[in-house]
Chain A
Amino acid sequence: EAGVAQSPRYKIIEKRQSVAFWCNPISGHATLYWYQQILGQGPKLLIQFQNNGVVDDSQLPKDRFSAERLKGVDSTLKIQPAKLEDSAVYLCASSLLRVTEAFFGQGTRLTVV
């Protein structure tokens, strides 16, 4: 079974630029998560989807971050404009509904200079 796919793996941008990350969850997984992992910290949930609806986006900085999950499959996370403090690894994960285990992608490492 294919795992969670993320792209790109690495991205370097200047502050105030925009950037987008893409995630393809495991086939059939209704729940999709985006996490932000700053160096030396644990992952922090940014947004959680069930199919194409948002379950939780309480920690998403909505003035600059946006995410969508069209057709309940792939998802895109966007940052516009980026700030230096957005430098982090962005992890995507997915899980089956009513199953506790989430599967993680390899992440996208963003560096804002």
Chain B
Amino acid sequence: AQSVTQLDSQVPVFEEAPVELRCNYSSSVSVYLFWYVQYPNQGLQLLLKYLSGSTLVKGINGFEAEFNKSQTSFHLRKPSVHISDTAEYFCAVSDSFTSGTYKYIFGTGTRLKVLA
């Protein structure tokens, strides 16, 4: 079964500094990878996804992630964070069913706290 590991439960960073949130997944023949953001008392919003092609994926709000097959990683990065980026970030991997639907398996999340 697929699994996702987010080693950092909390990441404090000063405003305008760069940040990297780490994500590793269990290996599979093919994977689809995602990063979601969750603001307090809100649902999850898709930041970006990797399906195939270029290993560097750009998402919303200036975030990007790099798929590294040899290291089974999909780390999220932002070159300069803002206070408004303070939120919980979840990495997810999907399994596909023959029915054409997808199931998402989430990591435990990383709380990003941007400090003024």
- Chain A 40-74 near chain B by CB (<8 Å), digits 1 or 0: 11111100101000011000000000000000000
A41 engages B94 (CB within 8 Å): no
Q: Does B90 contact A (CB under 8 A)?
A: yes
In this complex, what residue of A is CB-closest to B36? A104
Q: Which of A62-113 contact B (CB under 8 A)?
A: 91, 93, 95, 97-98, 100-107, 109
- Chain B 85-114 near chain A by CB (<8 Å), digits 1 or 0: 000001010100101111111111100000
B105 engages A45 (CB within 8 Å): yes
In this complex, what residue of A is CB-closest to B4? A42
Q: Give min CB distance, B25 to chain A, whole Å.
A: 13
A4 engages B43 (CB within 8 Å): yes
B102 engages A45 (CB within 8 Å): no
B43 engages A45 (CB within 8 Å): no
Choose from A4, A42, A50, A103 the contact partner of B101 (Cβ within 8 Å).
A50
What chain B residues lie within 8 Å of A105 (beta carbons)? 43
A55 engages B99 (CB within 8 Å): yes
Q: Give min CB distance, A80 to chain B, whole Å.
A: 25
Q: Does A24 contact B (CB under 8 A)?
A: no
Residue among B6, B102, B109 with max Cβ neighbours from chain A (10 Å): B102
Q: Which of B16-75 contact A (CB under 8 A)?
A: 32, 34, 36, 41-46, 49, 51
What chain B residues lie within 8 Å of A101 (beta carbons)? 46, 49
Residue among B6, B45, B46 with max Cβ neighbours from chain A (10 Å): B46
| B interface list, Cβ under 8 A from A | 4, 6, 9, 32, 34, 36, 41-46, 49, 51, 90, 92, 94, 97, 99-109
A-B interface, 4 closest residue pairs, ranked by CB to CB distance from nearest: A42-B106, A104-B43, A98-B100, A104-B44
Other A-B pairs, 16, CB within 8 Å; known A55-B101, A100-B51, A107-B41: A4-B43, A33-B103, A42-B90, A43-B90, A43-B106, A48-B103, A55-B97, A55-B99, A97-B100, A97-B101, A98-B100, A100-B94, A102-B102, A106-B41, A106-B43, A107-B42
| 17 pairs, CB–CB < 8 Å, chain A vs chain B | A31-B101, A33-B104, A40-B108, A42-B6, A43-B90, A45-B103, A45-B104, A45-B105, A48-B101, A50-B100, A50-B101, A55-B97, A95-B102, A100-B34, A100-B49, A105-B43, A107-B43
